[in-house]
A = this chain, B = another copy of it.
Amino acid sequence: MNQVIHLKNRPKGKPELEDFEFVEEKKPQAADGEMLLKTKYVSVDPYLRGRMRDEESYIPPFQLNEPLESGIIAEVVESKNPNFEKGDFVNGMLDWKEYQTATGNGLNKVDPDKASLSAYLGILGLTGLTAYISLEHIGKLQEGETLLVSGASGAVGSTVGQIGKIKGCRVVGIAGTDEKIKLMKEKFGFDHGINYKTIDDMNQAVAKACPDGVDVYFDNVGGEILDAAMQNINKDGRVINCGAISLYNMTETPKGPRYEGIMVKKTVRMQGFLVRDHVREFGPATQQLAQWLSADKLTYEETIVEGFKNIPQAFLDLFEGKNKGKMVVKV
């Protein structure tokens, strides 16, 4: 039998284990032109919370009593498709199933000799692409500027910070434990770290850490940390709205200080970013990331949870900040 994870309830506020359901189905068989895939690594990501809501968005919401999906590395265990061989590894958006069939559409082969399989879900996958493409195309980060990053020890944030250092910028990160601050400084080379949980006054802390102001703020979190970034933003500053994890589990839109005055006065550009809108840039961006990775200019952290049955818990742990770097489940 084949284990499958369904969305059972649309979470209200913070998701809970009860919102997921494990069901069994017959192990599927590959038809002509298809292959049978065995799930090896499953990416769990904060943005999946958005797809659990029944509302219009950039990708359709998950359906109740249907499998969830996310970025997955799978092994081809049987192939009736001439483009794929048994033993190949593929990367793509796949269902939360132990086994599934696929035509190969939207799947890319990955080479386990060039990088670890899980890296293709992280630094060489959407994580790295998000960091690189958003800094290049939205942030337009320039040498000598100050880059502020929230969620800075996370998968995307730590990559953003390292690219900032490669580009010759002052890089300041914000995270929620002293251990994460240490990690971002020692492993990822950030110039300075701010622990938002032990700081009284975020505005002041950002001002002190960024004496020349903030040129680019890469925002993973929204909320009061964004407020502090805006209080310290420079003329022609850019804010990359990549995520708003501080709001994802709220049932009503929270209020915050209005930014209109700062937007005009400082001619700030604030722009939402979804990596899926930039598929045409994936090729060159992946090449650049792989080059930096093999030249040891980039490194990454990952938290690997073992076991298909632990996928929901690994997802929930994202909202508790229990991951260091990319959160991946090894099946």
- Is A319 on the interface with B (CB-CB < 8 A)? no
- In the complex, what distance in Å separates the CA atom of A230 from the CA atom of B82? 48
- Least CB distance, A191 to chain B, in whole angstroms: 25
Instruction: Kindly provide the distance from the CB of A270 to the nearest chain B CB, expressed in whole angstroms.
Output: 5
Among candidates B219, B265, B277, residue contacting A50 with C-beta atoms closer than 8 Å: B265
Scan A243-275; emit 1 where CB is below 8 A from any B CB, else 0: 110010000011111111111111111111110
Is the beta-carbon distance between A57 and B265 smaller than 8 angstroms?
Answer: yes
Asked whether any CB of chain B lies closer than 8 Å to the CB of A223, the reply is yes
Number of copies: 2
Cβ of A223 and Cβ of B260 under 8 Å apart?
yes
Chain B residue nearest to A231 in the complex (CB): B253
Identify whether the interface residues of A are mostly helix, strand, loop, or mixed. mixed
Question: Size range of the interface on A?
Answer: 35 or more
User: In the complex, A247 Cα to B262 Cα: how many Å?
Assistant: 11
B267 lies within 8 A of A272 (CB): yes
Output the least CB separation between A232 and chain B (Å).
12
Contact, CB under 8 Å: A258 / B58: no
Determine the distance from Cα of A209 to Cα of B270 in the docked complex, in whole angstroms: 26
Determine whether the beta carbon of A263 is less than 8 Å from that of B272: yes
> How near does chain B come to A184, taking the closest CB pair, in angstroms?
22
Question: Which one of A242, A262, A265, A269 has the greatest number of beta carbons of chain B within 10 Å?
Answer: A265
Closest to A270 in B: B270
CB <8 Å contact, A58 and B235? yes
**Hey, which chain B residues are within 8 Å of A265, CB to CB?**
50, 57-58, 272
Residue of B243, B253, B264, B266 touching A257 (CB-CB under 8 A): B253
- A253–B261 CB distance below 8 A: yes
Chain B neighbourhood of A270, CB < 8 A: 263, 269-271
Contact flag A258-B269 (CB < 8 Å), given A241-B264, A244-B264: no
Instruction: Determine the distance from Cα of A273 to Cα of B265 in the docked complex, in whole angstroms.
Output: 8
- Which residue of chain B has its CB nearest to the CB of A50? B265
A-B complex: 8 closest residue pairs judged by Cβ atoms: A222-B260, A244-B260, A241-B263, A263-B272, A267-B272, A269-B271, A255-B255, A264-B272
- 7 A-B pairs (CB sep. < 8 Å): A219-B260, A222-B260, A226-B260, A236-B277, A253-B261, A263-B272, A270-B270
